[in-house]
Amino acid sequence: SQRLRSSAFGVPGIDASFDYVVVGGGTAGLTIAARLAETASVAVIEAGGFYQMDNGNLSVVPRNSLVQGVISNAEAFPPQPLVDWGLVSEPQPGAGNLRYHYAQGKTLGGSSALNTMGFHRGPKGAYERWAELVGDQSFTWDNLLPFFKKSCNLTPPDLEKRQAANATPVYDPRAFDNALGGPLQVSWANWVDPTVIWIAKALEQIGLPISPTGFNSGIITGYSGWGTSTIDPTHATRSSSQTSFLEKALDETEIIVYPNTQGMKVLFDSSKKATGVSVSTAGLEYTISATKEVIVSAGVFHSPQLLMVSGKSSGLDPPEGRIAHFELGIGPQDTLQSNGITVVSDLPGVGQNLWDPIFMLVTNQVNTPSGPSILMDPATSGPALADYLDNASGPYSSAGGHFSFEKIPDSMRNFTSSTASALAEFPADWPEIEYDIAPFPGPDNAVIGGIGATLTTLFSRGSVSIASSSMATQPLIDLGWLSNPADVEILVAAFKRCRQLWNTDAANSIKVGPELVPGATVQTDEEIATYIRSNLYQIFHASATCAMGKSSDPMAVLDSGARVYGVQGLRVVDASSFPFAIPGHPQASVYMLAEKIADAIKKGN
Ligand SMILES: Cc1cc2nc3c(=O)[nH]c(=O)nc-3n(C[C@H](O)[C@H](O)[C@H](O)COP(=O)(O)OP(=O)(O)OC[C@H]3O[C@@H](n4cnc5c(N)ncnc54)[C@H](O)[C@@H]3O)c2cc1C
């Protein structure tokens, strides 16, 4: 018989034991927990609650994902403490020496509940590189495709609702297999912004034709096109790991969730096997034990932090005569020791290798009707709301959904030889730039068109470290922005491409007045670089702070099964486990990885 929904939640303050304990009920965490719960007992420890209650329509309505204040990268961002961790970076010398707020979901669903819903898979070459770096052919595109497919369900585009003949999605349906019953909803938005349609035309005019396969078949570079989003098309609401994987698991398994509960330390026995997690719910501390494994899925900043401050033990031989409980950590020895933590596994790579793809914008005023102007004008905003509620279409139903990727064309590659040879190391199908189109509101109901360029080959590396031995203290985040001059060179070339885009016939037909930002005074490479350094944004694709790699790689943290080197019974499965930032948007790969590792665990690997 069906259990009560309320039976699915753990009782705070009471110790309990499960086969698997997953720390972090985010994108990867809920996916792996839901899959493991099909055959085992599983607890999920999540620091946040339900975003539908804690962030209302801001997290549910697609349009709002683009405009919610919490995605501001300003140090003085508008806080949303119930759904965002409020992380702020260390000053970034490469980017105006400013500190940047970096939104990260703190809710069941994690960042899949805060993101802008773009969904696509990376290029085949990126996964071949992953396979090479970890020495495991199960990471090649062909071998990963079943896990990509398993996670999601595709709904074909609704052309009647989209009402945009110039934005008809082209895709290869063989990239999906709905018969597998993947719970994540993937679809095309039921509305397309007219400004985006014009700029998409401009992209074609600079040499990026519409992709014949779409962006889920492992081919992305050299194409533009209408991409999929994690939107449930029935009501045009967000599909997150919570609405998909967790909902399914709550109905069909015995999964137990501890919401509003923070994992504070992983616990180990004397053989360095993870035995559970010390957790805290509103200050109440207790232990959730794992008879089989602890899986850390706390995201790109908190997973390395948790490894570094974990855990506690009374069983290991105490150093220097200390007895009973002492702090243990997994990570760089120096960092741990200076925070009074005893090293359980000296892994210098923990928190290192942070890839954070960055982007910058060139903007112009445009004369096209657009989401921002439609929703600001009372004459059109009411009908738009009715269209959303009645038909699941109109501006509220879309979070964007246009992708394009390229390598900088030969005619514009004035790179230094060191940058050129570094770029040549990337696989041939790995793009250097992604273009993102964003219409936003200007003064007097004007529409500003933004063409953004994101670096997808990235040479700068940041890091995550700790300021104390407690998870209650924010991690120290150095984003590393533009610390490598090659990134500046490539972004300068990308900036010029953005101007080329704005000077196509298509863009000229909607442009009003002179370039707004940065404007005509910025011309030389040096002026462009200066502009970029002080107008830089993250695209929230930070990855690879607990990178997988071969055991011979001193910076590797995880083996290809996502097991932490040097201890037993502990894996890290989330965007931190990637060896690099997958070019483009990562969430499809996060879901895939969680599916893959769940499958491996179930098969005893
Ligand atoms: C604003 C924004 C926009 C984005 N847009 C896109 C997009 O359009 N397309 C795309 O593909 N990707 C996008 N991304 C990136 C993508 O969403 C993330 O890469 C992905 O969701 C990361 O998944 P994860 O499992 O690694 O971490 P998360 O989903 O962030 O999950 C980590 C979870 O762990 C919890 N947690 C952390 N520490 C603890 C602890 N100690 N105890 C208990 N719980 C803990 C957190 O609360 C969170 O729920 C975006 C991200 C953001 C933030």
* Residue nearest ligand 1's atom 4 by CA: 115
Nearest to 211 by CA among 496, 406, 495, 433: 406
Residue 488 inside a domain? The answer is yes
Determine if residue 2 is labeled as part of a ligand binding site: no
Are both 421 and 491 inside the same structural domain?
A: yes
Are both 341 and 363 inside the same structural domain?
A: no
User: Which residues, 6+ apart, have CB-to-CB distance to 479 below 8 Å?
Assistant: 89, 90, 92, 95, 100, 102, 354, 356, 462, 538, 542
* Residue nearest ligand 1's atom 49 by CA: 110
Tokens 């933590």, residue located? 341
Are both 191 and 144 inside the same structural domain?
A: yes
Q: 576-588 pLDDT, tens per residue? A: 999 999 999 999 9
Share of the chain above pLDDT 70, in %: 97
- The domain in which residue 300 lies consists of 5-52+243-353+545-602
Distance CA 69, CA 531 (A): 24
Residue 318 inside a domain? The answer is yes
Number of structural domains in the chain: 2
Alpha carbon of 16 to ligand 1 centroid (Å): 27
Cβ < 6 Å from ligand 1: which residues?
A: 23-29, 45-48, 71, 103-107, 110-112, 114-118, 262-263, 297-300, 302, 306, 471, 540-541, 574-575, 585-587, 590
Determine if residue 587 is labeled as part of a ligand binding site: yes
Model pLDDT, residue 318: 43
Average pLDDT (431-457) is 94
Domain of residue 173, CATH code: 3.30.560.10
Alpha carbon of 54 to ligand 1 centroid (Å): 16
Alpha carbon of 449 to ligand 1 centroid (Å): 28
Task: Give the Å distances, CA to CA, from 187 to 14, 116, 119, 238.
Answer: 42, 13, 9, 11
Work out whether strand 463-465 and strand 476-478 pair parallel, antiparallel, or are unpaired.
Answer: antiparallel
Are both 210 and 339 inside the same structural domain?
A: no
Atom of ligand 1 nearest to the CA of 48: 47
Q: Token digits for 127?
A: 């996964």
Is position 120 annotated as part of the catalytic site?
A: no
Cα angle at 220 between 147 and 400, to 5 degrees? Answer: 90
Are both 278 and 378 inside the same structural domain?
A: no
In this predicted structure, the answer to whether residue 454 has a pLDDT above a threshold of 70 is yes
Alpha carbon of 176 to ligand 1 centroid (Å): 24
Q: Token digits for 120?
A: 């696509």
Distance CA 405, CA 285 (A): 48
Q: Token digits for 555?
A: 């910076």
Are both 277 and 366 inside the same structural domain?
A: no
Torsion of Cα atoms, 588 then 589 then 590 then 592, to 10°: 90
Model pLDDT, residue 311: 64
Pocket of ligand 1, candidates 73, 540, 593, 596: which has the most ligand atoms within 8 Å of its Cβ, to mutate?
A: 540
What ipTM goes with this model? Answer: 1.00
Q: How many CB atoms lie within 10 A of CB 2?
A: 7
Tokens 């009372």, residue located? 378
Q: Token digits for 107?
A: 């809710």
Model pLDDT, residue 549: 98
Catalytic-labelled residue, pool 101, 302, 402, 585: 585
Residue 110 inside a domain? The answer is no
Residue 477 inside a domain? The answer is no
Are both 512 and 442 inside the same structural domain?
A: yes
Domain of residue 571, CATH code: 3.50.50.60
Nearest to 115 by CA among 587, 538, 544: 587
Work out whether strand 511-517 and strand 358-366 pair parallel, antiparallel, or are unpaired.
Answer: antiparallel
Q: Are 54 and 327 in contact (CB under 8 A)?
A: no
Residue 386 inside a domain? The answer is yes
Average pLDDT (68-80) is 95
Q: How many residues are listed for the chain in this entry? A: 605
Alpha carbon of 546 to ligand 1 centroid (Å): 15
Model pLDDT, residue 495: 98
Query: Longest C-alpha distance within the chain, in Å?
Result: 77
Cα angle at 539 between 204 and 400, to 5 degrees? Answer: 50
Atom of ligand 1 nearest to the CA of 400: 8
Q: Are 437 and 195 in contact (CB under 8 A)?
A: yes
Q: Token digits for 207?
A: 């040499």
Are both 344 and 414 inside the same structural domain?
A: no
Of 535, 555, 576, the domain-final residue: 535
| Residue 316 confidence class, pLDDT cut points 50, 70, 90 | very low
Model pLDDT, residue 307: 95
Alpha carbon of 27 to ligand 1 centroid (Å): 6
Alpha helices in 273-407 (DSSP H): 299-309, 333-338, 371-376, 378-391
* Residue nearest ligand 1's atom 3 by CA: 115
Q: Token digits for 494?
A: 């990308």
Are both 425 and 451 inside the same structural domain?
A: yes
H or E element, residue 24: none
Pocket of ligand 1, candidates 558, 587, 597: which has the most ligand atoms within 8 Å of its Cβ, to mutate?
A: 587
In this predicted structure, the answer to whether residue 313 has a pLDDT above a threshold of 60 is no
Q: How many CB atoms lie within 10 A of CB 74?
A: 12
Are both 394 and 516 inside the same structural domain?
A: yes
Residue 100 inside a domain? The answer is no
Atom of ligand 1 nearest to the CA of 471: 41
Residue 471 inside a domain? The answer is no
Atom of ligand 1 nearest to the CA of 108: 49
In this predicted structure, the answer to whether residue 148 has a pLDDT above a threshold of 60 is yes
Model pLDDT, residue 325: 46
Distance CA 462, CA 262 (A): 25
Is position 101 annotated as part of the catalytic site?
A: no
Tell me if the bond preceding 183 is cis, omega within 30° of 0.
no
Torsion of Cα atoms, 602 then 603 then 604 then 605, to 10°: -110
φ/ψ of residue 291, rounded to 5: -75, -25
Model pLDDT, residue 327: 58
When mean pLDDT is compared across 193-202, 213-222, 269-278, 488-497, the lowest value belongs to 269-278
Are both 378 and 525 inside the same structural domain?
A: yes
* Residue nearest ligand 1's atom 47 by CA: 106
3-state helix, strand, coil in the chain (%, to 5): 35, 25, 40
Nearest to 151 by CA among 111, 105, 186, 115: 186
Atom of ligand 1 nearest to the CA of 85: 47
Q: Are 162 and 190 in contact (CB under 8 A)?
A: yes
Cα angle at 232 between 82 and 592, to 5 degrees? Answer: 80
Residue 289 inside a domain? The answer is yes
Tokens 């590396």, residue located? 461
Work out whether strand 476-478 and strand 326-331 pair parallel, antiparallel, or are unpaired.
Answer: unpaired
Give, as one character, the DSSP assignment of residue 568: B
Q: 25-34 pLDDT, tens per residue? A: 999 999 999 9
Pocket of ligand 1, candidates 73, 115, 245, 307: which has the most ligand atoms within 8 Å of its Cβ, to mutate?
A: 115
Atom of ligand 1 nearest to the CA of 106: 47
Model pLDDT, residue 324: 40
Average pLDDT score over the chain: 95
Are both 426 and 501 inside the same structural domain?
A: yes
Catalytic-labelled residue, pool 120, 302, 402, 541: 541
Alpha carbon of 463 to ligand 1 centroid (Å): 17
